[in-house]
Amino acid sequence: MQVESLRELLIAEIRDIYDAEEQIVDELPGIIEKVRSPQLKSALQMHLEETRGQILRLEQVFEKLGEDVEGEKCAGMKGILKEGADAIDDTDEGDVRDAVIIASCQKVEHYEIASYGCVRTWASQLGLNDVAQLLQVTLEEEGNADKKLSQIAESAVNIQAKKVA
């Protein structure tokens, strides 16, 4: 589809991130099963629940925009998840694998932070303040999830991984 206006661009990017969130909900349970650190496991479980809420929030966004609830294949997230799955497969259960999982999940978060930041700004520029507000809430959740992963990485998980090396 040829994108000719900021509104069309906003809708296209919302469809992309909606599909990305659905991919995450599909893949995250399998990743969580492979985690050893209880702290990491519970952080990811919490974020899985949060992600389900983010999908509902995007459905509200579609509704406010008067658009059908429909994703558009997000090739970026597919690639990030595939690369993460391959890297996880290259490790055995333990601290090193947990470090790989943190890295993969942070790559996911950073993609989402970039996307939500853009759509939030475009919604504001279009005067769609209620849409911008919904997207801002998710943007903050993604930011917090990313920070939490950094904290876990800086504590036990990576220190122990270093010892194994």
Contact positions vs Fe ion (CB under 5 A): 51, 54, 112
Closest approach, Cβ 3 to Fe ion, in A, equals: 23
Residue nearest to Fe ion (CB): 54
What one-character-per-residue DSSP string does 60-90 give?
HHHHHHT--------HHHHHHHHHHHHHHHT
DSSP code, position 31: H
End-to-end Cα, the chain, rounded Å: 49
- Give min distance, CB of 112 to Fe ion, in A: 5
Closest distance of CB 109 from Fe ion, Å: 8
CB of 63 to Fe ion, least distance (A): 19
Cα angle for residues 80, 13, 55 (degrees, 5° grid): 75
Task: Kindly tell me which of 79 and 162 has the beta carbon lying closer to Fe ion.
Answer: 79
Give the position of tokens 């994108």: 3
If the CB atoms of residues 102 and 161 are measured against Fe ion, the closer one turns out to be 102
23 or 51, CB closer to Fe ion? 51
